[in-house]
Amino acid sequence: SGPLQRTERAILSTRELEVAHWVRAGKSNREIAIILGISSRTVGKHLENIFEKLHLENRYGLMQPTENGLDHS
């Protein structure tokens, strides 16, 4: 992932940004949990929060640059 837009950095917590990074890298919830040393359930909760804050339907929304200010080029 490249630099994140200011809007995303302002909206998401540090941990949510880490989870978003690994989702964009193609990692599963289980893989992200192992990388970050947290449970898969916690990863899922972070994703729910990300989806709500960024008005996304699912993890694939994180892959797309949108009007939400996401930029992962």
pLDDT tens-place string over residues 30-72 = 999 999 999 999 999 999 999 999 889 999 988 876 444 444 4
Rounded alpha-carbon distances, angstroms, from residue 67 to 25, 30, 37, 62: 21, 29, 32, 12
The mean pLDDT value for 22-32 works out to 96
Length of the chain: 73
Q: Which of 4-8, 16-20, 47-51 has the lowest mean pLDDT?
A: 4-8
CB atoms within 10 A of CB 43: 25
Residue 19: which of 49, 52, 64 has the closest Cα? Answer: 49
pLDDT at 1: 43
